[in-house]
Every structure is written in structure tokens, then in C-alpha cells.
Amino acid sequence: MKWIFLAVAGLLLNGTGLSFFGDAVIKKMAHPDALNAWFWEGTFSLVLINAGICCVIEAALTRLKAR
């Protein structure tokens, strides 16, 4: 049951991270000189994407160990 929670959490984190990433790209294109407008949001999005990937991998490993 733990692997289902991790898989869903990973997919949600990936989707959220990609949404933040897209917004950061739009902000960068609109205001390339305003570093603070997009930098932190882009950094946060990469953290979310990587956390989502880690959760999905952990879910797969947990599922494989349960067999």
C-alpha cells in the first residue's frame, strides 16, 4: 500500500513542478532582466520535479521488494 501512496505523490510532485517550471519560463521570457522574478520559482520547480522522480523510483523499488 505504501508504494501506491509514493507513486501518486511522485506524479503529483512532477506535475506541480512542471507547472511551476512553465510559469518560471514565461516570467523569464517576459522580463529577462528581472532575475528575482523567475529564479526562485525555477529553482523550486526543479526541487519538486526531482522529488517527484525520487518518489516514483522509491514506489517502484518498494513494489519490487514486496513481491
What pLDDT was estimated at residue 6? 96
| C-alpha cell, 45 | 520547480
Residues 6 or more apart from 10 whose CB is under 8 A from it?
Answer: 51, 52, 53, 54, 55, 56, 57, 58, 59
> 63 near 3, Cβ under 8 Å?
yes
Say whether pLDDT at 32 is over 90: no
Q: How many CB atoms lie within 10 A of CB 20?
A: 19
| pLDDT tens, position by position, 14-30 | 999 999 999 999 999 99
